[in-house]
Structure 1
Amino acid sequence: MNFRLPLFCSLLLSTCAFAAPAGPVAKPAVKAVVPKKDSDQIRSAAPIKNFRLPTFTVEGYREFMLRAGEAVIPDPSRVDVRDMQLTLFTRTAEEQIDALLAAPSATFLPDEQIARGADTLRMERADITVTGADWTYDHKAQKLTIGRDAHIIFRAPIGDVIK
């Protein structure tokens, strides 16, 4: 008969009984800092090479992908990028590309999902190409605003829009 297991268990229990605190344990006075949003945890004073920031819908489909040759995150609510490429997806299971936005430099606000820049921007879709400068793209509103030097090329019939 093997007596080692009961002996081991009794030794373990007696050790635990002696190691238990005799009275109530005082809680530490330090409070944990809980970030408000996921983006509050991202910071970088030094440039990040080949930066990628994917976003997904609540269903798990791709929403957009921000890529940059270089990015600096001075605070959690702002990302300054160089050689930006923002790929917009259809937000469906097929994950097709809806549009591409490219700019030499931009600022991206992750919480608001807004990208903006003073330099030139090029937006490509299957039916339209837009270029210009001093631009803002609001992803939540699906709105692109060009402040100056706007050029638009339609590749689809525009019908009665001009009348």
Structure 2
Amino acid sequence: MRALYKFDFIDKTAFVKYTRESCWVLRGLVCLGGLLFVWNAGLFAQRMVPDAPVSNFKIPVFGDDGYKIWDLRGKEGRYVNDQQIVVEGMELRVFSGDEAMHLEVTMESPQATIFIQDQRAVGNDLLFIRGPNFHIVGKGWLWNGKEKLIRIEDDVQVTFKESLGNAF
């Protein structure tokens, strides 16, 4: 069996002279190492799934034009699957989605299930909604950001801050 490499010592410095066989072996080892690296990277590139809740988080969501359309904050978030997050202490703020970045409404609930890709949220607990001239409180709710719809099923209370002027 031949040696894969040879050493020549010149001025106490080692230089490697590669033979033809050693070049092919080295190329094979480099290719094998590259394949192992790609295979391992593929394993690690799979989605990491958190096994513990995330605390005090914020997720901004932007429209196609780059303006923020809403953001989600929570005291604690638990990953359910790629589409679903359960949030404790939810605060969801909806913006105008244009360069004015006007805050249209703020929604808070003790617990909610968020579907980020669908821009939806649902909850059975109380929902507190604050707008520029109103407050709404109720239970059993649904928010659909794409349709700009908020539905509250039970115990709804609405308070307007707008004066009626000389209407009566």
SS class of match (2:155): strand
Task: Pick closer, same or farther for the CA change 1:137–1:42 going to 2, 3 Å.
Answer: farther
Shift of 1:98: 1.0
Q: Which whole-Å deviations, capped at 9, do the CAs of 1:73-121 have from their partners, x for residues lacking one? A: 1211100000100011111112121110000110001121111111000
CA distance in 1, matches of 2:48, 2:162: 41
Q: Does 1:104 align with 2:106?
A: no
Alignment match, 2:83: 77
What corresponds to 2:139 in structure 1? 133
SS at match of 1:72: strand
1:88 alignment partner in structure 2: 94
Counterpart for residue 120 of structure 1: 126
Provide the identity percentage. Answer: 23
For 1:57, the equivalent position in structure 2 comes to 63
SS across alignment from 1:106: strand
Of the candidates 141, 145, 148, which is equivalent to residue 142 of structure 1? 148
The 3-state SS of whatever aligns with 1:94 is: coil
Structure number with larger C-alpha Rg: 2
The 1:157/1:110 distance shift into structure 2, 3 A limit, reads same
**Structure 2 length normalisation: TM-score?**
0.69
Q: TM-score, normalised by structure 1?
A: 0.71
TM-superposed deviation, 1:158: 7.5
Counting matched residue pairs gives: 136
Supply the AA of the counterpart residue of 1:120.
Answer: L
In structure 1, the gaps of 5 or more residues are 1-16, 22-26
Q: CA deviation at 1:157?
A: 5.9
Unaligned runs of 5+ in 2: 1-22, 29-34
Q: Which has the higher contact order (CA 8 A, sep 6+)?
A: 1
